[in-house]
Amino acid sequence: MVILAWLIPALPMLAWAVILLAGKRTPGKGAPIGILAIGTGWVLSIAILARVVGGGESFHASTTWAPLSADLVIPIGILVDGLAAVLLFVVTTISLLVQVYSVSYMRGDERYTFFFAKLSLFTSGMLIVVLADNLLMLLVGWEIMGVCSYFLIGHYWEDHANSRAAVKAFLTTRVGDLGFMAGIFVLFWATHSFEIPGIVAAAHSGRLSSGTITLGAVLLFCGAIGKSGQFPLHTWLPDAMAGPTPVSALIHAATMVAAGVFLVARMYPVFEASPAALNEVALIGSLTMLIAALLALVQDDIKRVLAYSTVSQLAYMMAGLGVGGYGAGIFHLFTHAFFKALLFLAAGAIIHSIHTNNMSEMGGLRRVMPWTFATFTIGALSLAGIIPLAGFWSKDEILTQAWRVGFGGGAEGVATSTGVAQVVFVVGVLTAFLTALYVTRMLWLAFGGAYRGQGHPHEADGIMLAPLAVLATGSVVAGVVGSPLVGTDNIGKWISTALLPSEGAVTVNWGLVGSTTLVALLGILAGSALYRRGLPEREYLARIPPLYTLLEHKYYLDDLYEGVFVRAVTGQLAPATYWFDQRVIDGIVNGSALATRRLSRGLRYVQSGQAQWYAAALFVGVVGIAVVVTQVIGR
Amino acid sequence: MRLLYPLVFAAFLFSAGIYGVLARRNAVMVLMSIELMLNAVNVNLIAFNAYLQDKLLSGQVFALFVIAVAAAEVGIGLAIVLLIFRNRETVNIDEVDLLRW
């Protein structure tokens, strides 16, 4: 069965081609083709996950793709281990549900067929990343996602703002990709291999110098920063909300942004071998989770709240990985996929119904959209980390890990410094509070009180509600899988490898669990107290002017990028290169044409029409050749 | 047999032909000069044939060929000159320069 794993990315790729070429002429306008492809992949990935759960060996098959020279061989292959199996399951599940949901959500859209083609290719890109056994193949999938995200975010390109958002997402992630590529080359230079098992083994063995490993890890992390929307490259993610809501769900839950976290997990032994890199991951994670959670608190656009929440939660995963919680980080990725996809799709149901993203025009929807309300609430509480929902277990595992490394006298084999782990823990708890706060705010503003908008809200249809129901179930159940209630460290055991052994039984620190739950409940209570009566005249944070101004301007990061980099490019660099192209490059081309013309203009007078001149030239030429042949060559 | 005499004779003949082709304005004279050059070649062919005592007489055969081709060539040449004269009332070769820049 595992030998068929390559079909999982291949089928959506095929579906993409088929939909693009013939989708419009097939029944269902191409949507069933994409759903069928990803559905088959889903069945396969369940079989693979079952194998991993059953304790099966990891599967690695690779062959040479392009032997460029003796020591530069580009391989192609698949690596199906526990980590890949878990991700395969998450990606195919979410993608399947999103595609089913899109059948209803996108109905009547102008580019309906094209939309499904893009979804298929996008999923395929993520699946290539997950299955890749070497960094170059991973990069290929990574870039496929990059270009698909560009197309999907710019789906409604008629609105100029949307196409700008698409360009922004594409270019911002590209900044990180630059580092990623440099990281690949650094590691190749050090290990002479692109293959992930070889690189991680080399990093683990201690044969490489610590400087090389740190450089490689930090550069790889640059790619993850770009793709996973970490500070300071997170600015593209909220703007990416310009795309249709199912796309947001797909980007934010299973694909694209998860790729960055996956990359760090995939190359984890490299990070583990470098305390500096781990510390960086943990600190970037802590910083990002806090600033994103604060931003989520002041947004009016419901999708933007969720977008910042995603940034914040991804930072949680990063921070978890940064403090040595390999299992904890992936566990959070696993549960987050369910409840974040649920939140986005439920928000999509609202947007589909009342045609606005603004929470100031919502309110009172719990009566007209009871199912959406119920599922959204489950997702929101899961995000807030309320026991026993999925988010609680994974978030708590990260905090427990940070506590153990930071305050519990350190954990064996974790290179992160205690100070950093303490920062992660404190910021993590603070973020948990803020998360509960903005989640409650979102719930009250969208569903509580009376309806403030102009449209006529109605409940979504069955095709949209079915995925919501499935995801709501997932948001409840997914956490229990990895919780101490069933077995010990399940997820950790599945994804463990020889280099990354499972930590075994993690003793549950009930005091810690209790206090984080208390923090989350406090957040919910505070949120209810503040937003029960709907949006206040002035946002509460607006009463702290400096902070609010800072949040209003999104920490001035966009202004910085716009004012410095974009202006430098469009203001100086672009005209300079334009000048160079017009004058120098075109100058060379036009100049050679002009020179030829001038020369031939002079030369044409040779053709005088005087036959006797020609004869004379002929004669002189023959004599010249005769002289050369006899006197020079013949000698 | 002394090869020198026919060769010198042929060289003179050829040079006279070259001079005629390059310097004369009258197209008929130019054609006649070409005949001179061809005949200089014929003299060379015959002389070498005799000198080398070729059993196959290839020099003489080639000379016959050249005479035949020269006859054809001068026929066409004179026809052209005739047509030019009819059209332009001149046989001066330097006035026939339509094919130029």
Give DSSP secondary structure letters for A211-243: HHHHHHHHHHHHHHHHHTT-TTSTTHHHHGGGS
Whether the per-residue pLDDT at A164 is higher than 80: the answer is yes
| Nearest-neighbour CA in chain B from A591: distance (Å) | 24
CB contacts under 8 A, B 65-94 vs A, are 93-94
Tell me which residue in A605, A610, A619 faces B18 most closely, judged by beta carbons. A619
Comparing CA positions, the residue from A258, A416, A253 lying closest to residue A324 is: A416
Alpha helix (H) ranges present in A242-369? 245-249, 257-266, 268-272, 275-296, 302-322, 326-354, 365-368
Which among B22, B94, B96 is the nearest to A616, CB-wise?
A: B22
* pLDDT for the residue B63: 94
Beta strands A59-69; A72-80: pairing state: antiparallel
Q: pLDDT at residue A565 above 80?
A: no
Kindly tell me if the per-residue pLDDT of A470 is higher than 70. Answer: yes
Residue A75's DSSP bridge partners are A64
Joined tokens for residue A512: 């810690």
Coil, strand, or helix at residue A59?
strand
**What is the model's pLDDT at position A412?**
65
pLDDT in the model for residue A320: 87
Alpha-carbon distance B41 to nearest alpha carbon in chain A (angstroms): 15
Between A146 and A552, the more confident residue is A146
Q: Which two tokens stand for residue B45?
A: 């062919």
Q: Hey, CA dihedral for A517, A250, A156, A128, is it positive or negative?
A: positive
Respond yes or no on whether the N-terminal peptide bond of residue A232 is cis (omega within 30° of 0).
yes
- Contact (CB, 8 A) for A308 and A292: yes
Eight-class DSSP state of B95? G
- The predicted structure's pLDDT at residue B8: 95
Q: Which residue of A has its CA nearest to B100?
A: A609
Name which of A113, A153, A349, A334 is nearest A239 in CA terms. Answer: A153
Report yes or no: B21 at the A interface, CB cutoff 8 Å.
yes
Q: What is the pLDDT of residue A542?
A: 67
A104: its two tokens: 């209803």
* pLDDT score recorded for residue A596: 93
Strand partners, A195: A134
A615–B22 C-beta distance less than 8 A:
yes
What pLDDT score was predicted for residue A413? Answer: 66
**Residues A236-252: what's their mean pLDDT?**
82
* Gap between the Cα atoms of A406 and A418, Å rounded: 4
Give residue-wise pLDDT tens across range A248-263: 888 877 788 888 888 8
Band of residue B47 on the pLDDT scale cut at 50, 70, 90: very high
Residue A1 has pLDDT above 70, yes or no: no
Residue A610 to residue B94, Cβ atoms within 8 A: yes
Phi, psi of A233 (to 5 degrees): -105, 20
- A68 φ, ψ (degrees, to nearest 5): -75, -40
Q: How confident is the model at residue A624 (pLDDT cuts 50, 70, 90)?
A: very high
pLDDT beyond 90 at B64: yes
Predicted pLDDT of residue A187? 86
Give the pTM: 0.77
Q: What is the pLDDT of residue A410?
A: 56
Contact yes or no for A382/A335 (Cβ under 8 A): yes
The owner of tokens 């309110």 is A363
Q: Is the pLDDT of residue A491 over 80?
A: no
CB contact under 8 A, A612 and B99: no
d(CA A330, CA A491): 8
Q: What is the CB-side half-sphere exposure of residue A64 using CA atoms within 13 A? A: 8
Question: What single-letter amino acid sits at A144?
Answer: I
For the stretch A42-47, contacts whose Cβ atoms lie closer than 8 Å and that sit 24 or more positions apart, written own/partner, are A42/A92, A42/A93, A42/A96, A44/A1, A44/A4, A44/A5, A44/A7, A44/A8, A45/A8, A45/A85, A45/A88, A45/A89, A45/A91, A45/A92, A46/A89, A47/A1
Which of A6-20, A358-372, B44-58 is predicted most confidently? B44-58
Predicted confidence (pLDDT) at residue A363 exceeds the cutoff of 80: no
Distances (CA, A) of A77 to A59, A140, A197: 10, 13, 12
Residue of A178, A177, A207 lying closest to A192 (CA atoms): A207
Residue in this structure with the two tokens 């899988």, named with its chain if needed: A481
Going by C-beta distance under 8 Å and a sequence separation of 6 or more, which residues neighbour residue A571?
none
pLDDT at A503: 63
User: For tokens 């929440």, what's the residue?
Assistant: A309
Topology given in CATH for the domain delimited by B4-94 = Helix Hairpins (1.10.287)
Nearest Cα to A468, choosing from A360, A591, A346, A558? A346
Q: Cβ contact (<8 Å) for A609 and B98? A: yes
Q: Give the model's pLDDT for residue A32.
A: 82
Q: Which residues of A touch B18 (CB under 8 A)?
A: 619
Q: Which residues contact A2 (CB under 8 A, 6 or more apart)?
A: A48, A51, A56, A59, A80
For B70-99, the pLDDT digits (tens) are 999 999 999 999 999 999 888 888 888 888
Tokens 């600033």, residue located? A291
- Average pLDDT taken over every residue of chain A: 83
Instruction: Quote the tokens at residue A146.
Output: 């990059």
Structural domain boundaries in chain B: 4-94
Q: What pLDDT sits at residue A507?
A: 62
Residue A114 carries which DSSP code?
A: H
Residues sharing a CB contact under 8 Å with residue A395, sequence separation 6 or more, in sequence order:
A316, A332, A385, A428, A432, A516
Split at pLDDT 50, 70, 90, the class of A628 is very high
Closest CA to A88 of A40, A148, A56, A36: A40
Among the ranges given (A92-101, A355-364, A586-595, B34-43), the one the predictor scored with the smallest mean pLDDT = A355-364
User: Distance of alpha carbon B19 from its chain centroid, rounded?
Assistant: 12
Which residue type sits at A596? T
Size of interface A-B (CB pairs under 8 A): 30
Task: Give the model confidence (pLDDT) of A522-543 as tens digits.
Answer: 888 888 877 777 666 666 666 7
Burial of A3 (0-12, 13-18, 19+ CB in 10 A): exposed
| Residue A300: both structure tokens together | 């009016």
pLDDT by residue (tens digit) across A177-197?
888 899 888 888 888 888 888
Residue A273's SS3 state is coil
Q: Using CB atoms, which residue from A604, A610, A616 is nearest to B97?
A: A610
Residue A502 pLDDT > 70: no
CA–CA distance, A15 with A412 (Å, rounded to integer) = 47
> Is residue B66 within 8 Å of residue B10, measured between CB atoms?
no
> What is residue A589's predicted lDDT score, i.e. its pLDDT?
93
